[in-house]
Structure 1
Amino acid sequence: MKKIILSLVVLVVIAITAGLFYLFTNLDAIVKGAIEKYGSEATQTAVRVDRVRIKLTEGDGAIYELSVANPEGFDLPNAITLGETGMGIDLKSVREEPYVINHVTVREPGVFFEINADKKANLYELKKNLVASRAAGEDKSGSEKADAQGPRLIIRRLIFEQGRITAKVTPLDKDYDLELPAIHMTDLGGSQGATASELTREILQRLIDTANKEIRKKGIDAELDKLETEAREKVEEEKAKMKDKADSEIEKEKKKAEDKLKNMLQ
């Protein structure tokens, strides 16, 4: 019996050791896969990461070249790109949830704003996707929700810096290059933590709202309204011309009929 118990203990130790070895040797790939999975679920577009580097023993990590693809119907390949994202991990929190990330710094983020020929804005469509994915997550049953959510996280401080906004407005045939103001966010996830999908939605919504604010300052909305007003006026002018032409043709036909009647009565 003692031999059996000892054998079981040895097997458990081997299993735990193997599990830890797999975790530490594949942590970069695991984090990369989680970002792409939960990010794509939140945005309902393809989220891709070039590579991830995590030094768990040092509490240090970095994510390189993260991109959020545009929704369908737009020319630009991406709506958002993040150059290098550095982070500091609270090593005391890695034993249990919520896991704490002390700081995240996103360098050289790029926001690509586009209004297509149908006058749809990609950032507005992306924001609608974020809202829809949140509603879908809330509608799931308890077990489904638990399976889909993943670990809970807290981010103490997050900074976007040195960012740019590239705007492509097809109806105006214009391109713009704007500065993205620095964004500072604190205590994401609250005291209980939030899932990766929840954090993704909150962070991207703040980023999109900041970009939209800068775009409105540029007066793009006003230019589009002016363009639409001019288009409506042209349509009304064409309608008036067609009506005048139709009225003129009717008068000609009436005159012909009157002349014909006169000739018949003579």
Structure 2
Amino acid sequence: MWKKLGIALAVLLALIAGAAYFLFSNLDSLIKAAIEKYGSAATQTAVSVDRVHLSLTSGAGSISGISISNPAGYSSSQALTLGDAAVQVDTSSIAGNGPIVIDTVTIAQPHVTYEVKGLGDGSNLQTIQRNVQAYAGSSGQQQPAQQQQSGGANRKEIIKDLYVTGGQISVAAEALNGRSLTVPLPDIHLTNIGQASGGATAAEVANQVLGAITNEATKVASTALTQQLQAAAQGALQGAIKNGGSITNGVGSQLKGLLGN
């Protein structure tokens, strides 16, 4: 009997060890799959990740090549390419059911495409932001039930410092009539995400980060676009005067070409 019990215990330990080995050896791919699955659900666009690496001993990690596609109806293929993200996790927060504490997240050299279909229309970033807001709201309502069913697998997060640095914005608009316009994205620093509420869901974190990027990109890109259009209108006016034609007709016809009409 004791021999059989010992064999059974050895088999059980082997299974546990095998499961632990599978989990830790495949942790990076599991995180990658989760980002792509839930990121696509939140944004309602395709989200892809090139590579993920996380060390559970040091807490240091990196996520490379996060791409968020544009929603349907926009001409550019990608809305955001987040480049490389460096992460430092507080390893003491990994065990247990409390929020996972992330000391720093640094997103370096993201590329943002700010696209508007026409003057007065919303942008691609605002469309994605609305999708993420809706998803964050619905996931927040479902979170307690999900945690109960999954044994706390959907853990919340606290991010002490999140930096977005060295970004660029490409502006795409019908009003540019095919011309390119690139402006720098201002650096962003968010602090204590989820701290006041005892942790934020992944969707809530995404909503805050994407919201900050969208706000900064919208301000900078819309200002640059307005300046470009004003300069073009001034050039059209001067050209009409120089050519001695009708100012109204000259400016009107050139602005029609500028606006893609």
Does the 8 A contact of 1:169 with 1:175 survive in 2? no
**Counterparts of 1:62 and 1:40 in 2: how far apart (Å)?**
20
* Partners of 1:56 and 1:91 within 8 A in 2: yes
Q: TM-score, normalised by structure 2?
A: 0.77
1:131 aligns to 2:133 (yes or no): yes
Name structure 2 gaps, 5 residues minimum. Answer: 234-247, 253-261
1:208 maps to what in 2? 214
Larger radius of gyration: 1
User: Which residue of the other structure, out of 152, 155, 159, is the alignment partner of 1:151?
Assistant: 155
Q: Which residue of 2 aligns with 1:182?
A: 187
Partner of 2:14: 14
| Aligned position for 1:73 | 73
**Distance apart, 1:142 and its partner CA:** 5.0
Using a 3 Å threshold, how does the CA distance of structure 1 residues 146 and 128 change in structure 2: closer, same or farther?
farther
Q: Counterparts in 2 of 1:1-266, with a 5 A limit?
A: 2-3=2-3, 5-96=5-96, 97-116=98-117, 119-138=121-140, 140=142, 142-144=144-146, 150-173=154-177, 174-190=179-195, 192-220=198-226, 223=229
Shift of 1:147: 5.9
User: In structure 2, what residue type is equivalent to 1:172?
Assistant: L
Give the counterpart letter for 2:159 in structure 1. Answer: I
Displacement of 1:223 in angstroms is 4.5
Paired-residue identity, %:
32
Query: Residues 116-158 of structure 1, C-alpha deviation per residue, up to 9 Å, x if partnerless?
Result: 2584421121122122223433554853576698222221111
Structure 2: distance between partners of 1:147 and 1:43 = 25
Partner of 1:57: helix, strand, or coil? coil
Q: SS of the residue aligned with 1:177?
A: strand
State the one-letter code of the partner of 1:98. P
Higher helix share: 1
State the distance in 1 between where 2:29 and 2:11 align. 27
* SS of corresponding position for 1:160: strand
What secondary structure is seen at the aligned counterpart in 2 of 1:194? coil
Paired position in structure 1 for 2:244: none
Separation of aligned partners in 1, 2:137 and 2:89:
30
Correspondence for 1:242:
none
Distance in 1 (CA, whole Å) between partners of 2:12 and 2:192 is: 38
Shift of the 4–156 alpha-carbon distance from structure 1 to 2, 3 Å rule, reads farther
Q: Which runs of 5+ in 1 are unaligned?
A: 228-232, 238-266
Structure 1 counterpart of 2:79, one-letter code:
A
Structure 1 residues 58 and 142: CA distance shift in structure 2, 3 A: closer
Take 2:195 and 2:217, find their aligned partners in 1: how far apart are those partners? 25
Cα displacement (A) at 1:207 = 1.0
- Aligned-residue Cα RMSD (Å) equals 2.9
Q: 2:255 — aligned with what?
A: none
Distance, in Å, in 1 between the alignment partners of 2:149 and 2:168 is 37
Residue type of the partner of 1:53? H
The whole-number CA distance in structure 2 between the counterparts of 1:157 and 1:71 is 29
TM-score with structure 1 setting the length:
0.76
The residue type equivalent to 2:217 in the other structure is A
